[in-house]
């Protein structure tokens, strides 16, 4: 299907381009979100008449997104989740969860603005891109932890999963040395009489 783009669309074109796209992409994404018009004679004429107005609206939207991006860029959000000992989450963190965390702190985003290639499934500090406008993308940091204390340790740069394994290994080594020093569980006077 041929369409006239009303704003920049990644991988497709910029404002005013007449491009051929797949029918489903046009019907399900571009047309309902007012990112394009069908490329017919009537729409071509209407676009040329309104081009200056559309460009001005696009600039205004980009500036508003840029202002919102300045407040969001580089912010950090703590998400408390349940996870196993190896750091694997019970579940995952998806775009909706990220958008909800940003909104809870007063940010203005939709879940469709969150750019995640795949859901986050591990503890730790993760950087996530937020696309506020076709030309404005910012990065926020998610600190996913099991507790507020763990989140604070992670924000200082500590790898809590590795630290936990090290603590467990040290405790196991101490228990083994205690057992060896005690004769592997035998006590004085603990003899069987036959």
* pLDDT tens per residue, range 96-111: 999 999 999 888 888 8
Distance of alpha carbon 168 from alpha carbon 5, whole angstroms: 58
Q: Is residue 134 part of a domain?
A: yes
Question: In the predicted model, what is the mean pLDDT of the chain?
Answer: 85
Residue 191 pLDDT class (50, 70, 90 cuts): low
Give the strands of the sheet with 36-38, arranged side by side. Answer: 18-20, 2-5, 36-38
- Write out the residue range of the structural domain in which residue 12 sits: 2-69
Same domain, 117 and 172: yes
Among 69, 89, 114, identify where a domain stops. Answer: 69
Specify whether 49 is located in the same domain as 90.
no
Residue 80 lies in a domain: yes
pLDDT digit string (tens) for 17-75?
899 999 999 999 999 988 999 999 999 998 888 888 988 988 898 898 888 888 888 89
Residue 132 lies in a domain: yes
The candidate with the shortest Cα–Cα distance to 151, out of 141, 165, 137, is: 141
120 shares its domain with 59: no
Quick one: pLDDT at residue 30? 92
């Amino acid at each position: 299907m041929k369409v006239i783009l009303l704003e920049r669309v990644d991988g497709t074109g910029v404002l005013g381009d007449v491009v051929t796209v797949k029918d489903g992409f046009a019907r399900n994404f571009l047309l309902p979100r007012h990112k394009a018009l069908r490329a017919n004679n009537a729409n071509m004429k209407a676009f040329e008449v309104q081009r200056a107005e559309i460009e001005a609206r696009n600039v205004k939207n980009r500036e508003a997104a840029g202002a919102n991006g300045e407040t969001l860029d580089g912010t950090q959000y703590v998400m408390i989740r349940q996870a196993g000992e190896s750091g694997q989450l019970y579940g995952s963190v998806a775009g909706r969860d990220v958008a909800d965390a940003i909104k809870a702190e007063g940010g203005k985003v939709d879940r469709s603005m969150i750019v995640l290639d795949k859901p986050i499934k591990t503890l730790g500090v993760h950087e996530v891109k937020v696309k506020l406008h076709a030309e404005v993308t910012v990065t926020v940091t998610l600190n996913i932890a099991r507790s507020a204390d763990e989140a604070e340790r992670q924000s200082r740069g500590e790898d809590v999963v590795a630290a936990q394994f090290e603590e467990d290994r040290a405790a196991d080594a101490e228990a083994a040395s205690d057992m060896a020093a005690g004769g592997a569980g035998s006590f004085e006077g603990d003899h069987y009489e036959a």
